[in-house]
């Protein structure tokens, strides 16, 4: 009995470590990002404690970037909340995608892994789950692997933020570091856009955002997001209709 217990705690630990190792290469990309966030947040006028707290409370790179910017511009609190919510809505997709693999876990485990669920942790975890599913087996401690990957990202994110916050005070505003926000999002939009309707969504949202920029409390951002989503869905519906025609290309 005790041998069984020992070997199962051993394999838990092994799964955890494998998750940590598989997440490690991704830190090359996320740690500089966390560092820039820390610098940017301080430049935007956030107190160091608040900038650091956001990394633990919100724990989502792009949402933290934009929230820091909005807080610096003295946006209404409700717009900051709604913006964080909208920017992070994509996590619902990850949640839906991982849900079947986490079905058997306790609510505590589900809550823990959900708190730690980010783009980068999802990317590593889903590859493992799908590989196991294709091989036709489900090792009992897969969730320890996910926990290892996710906590590796979490801890490195907190450390990177702390370094950025520490350096932030010595970076002058004239460096224009706030521009890294736009550059980061330009990089991300090219990975997010994969189909023509997605381009329609992106360009519509960008256009509406510029036109509606004068609206108070940065409300134009939300209007633009809604407009872009709607335009993308309309474009998709139209392509769908076109594809259903018997002879689309005579």
- Residues 100-159 interacting with other proteins (rule: CB under 8 A): 100, 102-103, 107, 110-111, 113-115, 117
Residues 25, 49, 136, 172: which binds other proteins (CB under 8 A)? Answer: 49
Residue 119: both structure tokens together: 């783009």
Stretch that binds other proteins, among 126-134, 139-147, 157-165, 210-218 (CB under 8 A): 210-218
Q: How many residues line the site for other proteins (CB under 8 A)?
A: 91
Stretch that binds other proteins, among 17-25, 139-147, 156-164, 192-200 (CB under 8 A): 192-200
Instruction: Rule CB under 8 A: say whether 242 interacts with other proteins.
Output: no
For residue 133, the minimal CB distance to other proteins (Å) is 16
For residue 201, the minimal CB distance to other proteins (Å) is 4
Of residues 58-87, which lie at the interface with other proteins (CB under 8 A)?
A: 58-60, 62-63, 66-67, 71, 77, 80-81, 84-87
> What is the spatial distance between Cα 90 and Cα 155, in angstroms, rounded to a whole number?
22
> What is the spatial distance between Cα 50 and Cα 85, in angstroms, rounded to a whole number?
18
DSSP 141: T
E strands present in the chain? none
> What is the spatial distance between Cα 124 and Cα 112, in angstroms, rounded to a whole number?
17
Residues 219, 220, 225, 230: is their CA dihedral positive or negative?
Answer: positive
Instruction: Rule CB under 8 A: say whether 224 interacts with other proteins.
Output: yes
For residue 230, the minimal CB distance to other proteins (Å) is 8
Q: Are 140 and 4 in contact (CB under 8 A)?
A: no
Instruction: Rule CB under 8 A: say whether 193 interacts with other proteins.
Output: yes
Residue 34: both structure tokens together: 């966390």
Q: Which is nearer to other proteins, 188 or 241 (CB)?
A: 188
Q: Which is nearer to other proteins, 17 or 198 (CB)?
A: 198
> What is the spatial distance between Cα 129 and Cα 141, in angstroms, rounded to a whole number?
11
């Amino acid at each position: 009995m005790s041998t069984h217990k020992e070997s199962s705690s051993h394999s838990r630990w092994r799964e955890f470590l494998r998750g940590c190792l598989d997440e490690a290469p991704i830190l090359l990309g996320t740690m500089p990002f966390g560092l820039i966030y820390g610098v940017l947040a301080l430049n935007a006028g956030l107190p160091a404690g608040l900038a650091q707290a956001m990394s633990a409370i919100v724990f989502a790179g792009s949402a933290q970037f934009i929230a820091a910017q909005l807080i610096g511009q003295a946006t209404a609190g409700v717009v900051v909340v709604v913006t964080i919510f909208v920017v992070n809505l994509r996590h619902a997709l990850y949640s839906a995608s991982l849900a079947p693999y986490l079905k058997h876990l306790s609510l505590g485990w589900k809550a823990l892994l959900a708190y730690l669920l980010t783009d980068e942790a999802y990317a590593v975890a889903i590859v493992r789950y799908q590989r196991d599913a294709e091989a036709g087996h489900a090792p009992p401690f897969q969730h320890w692997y996910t926990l290892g990957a996710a906590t590796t990202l979490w801890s490195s994110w907190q450390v990177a933020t702390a370094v950025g916050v520490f350096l932030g005070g010595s970076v002058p505003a004239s460096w224009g570091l706030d521009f890294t926000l736009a550059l980061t999002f330009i990089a991300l939009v090219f990975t997010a856009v994969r189909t023509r309707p997605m381009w329609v969504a992106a360009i519509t949202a960008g256009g509406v955002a510029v036109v509606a920029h004068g609206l108070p409390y940065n409300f134009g951002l939300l209007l633009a997001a809604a407009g872009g989503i709607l335009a993308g869905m309309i474009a998709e519906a139209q392509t769908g209709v076109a594809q259903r025609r018997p002879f689309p290309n005579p």
